[in-house]
Amino acid sequence: VQLQASGGGLVQAGDSLRVSCKASGSTFGRSIMGWFRQAPGKDREFVAGVSRSGASTRYSDSVKGRFTISRDNDKRMVYLQLNSLKPEDTAVYYCAAYSRAILTSPIYDAPEMYDIWGQGTQVTVSS
């Protein structure tokens, strides 16, 4: 699986944005997918994850209720809808795949569990 993120940009506080991740490769449908972000001077942090089927999701407390992750396995796409954006959401957003997932695997929030990473897309929220 190879991943390519897109859709970032400069927005104002309160605005919405959708970032996308295009996957190539036959293992996409068997991978748990996650979105992470990294702000300058900070560690990479988990934002959201989605199960292989898309039926289960997990969010960090900081984005719960504002962000929505989804996937389209037919198109090999993962999306992150970002609503009610805040300046503290400013970061590079990365999509990642846990390609060794099995049916009972949980959605991990630890970046070291994800073995495939995209290049990242910058989201900047001005106040």
- Express each pLDDT in 93-113 by its tens digit: 999 999 999 888 999 999 999
Amino acid 65: pLDDT:
98
- What per-residue confidence (pLDDT) applies to 70? 98
End-to-end CA distance of the chain: 37
Apex 121 CA angle, 115 and 126, nearest 5: 135
Angle formed at CA 112 by CA 108 and CA 117, multiple of 5 degrees: 95
Cβ neighbours, 10 Å, residue 29: 14
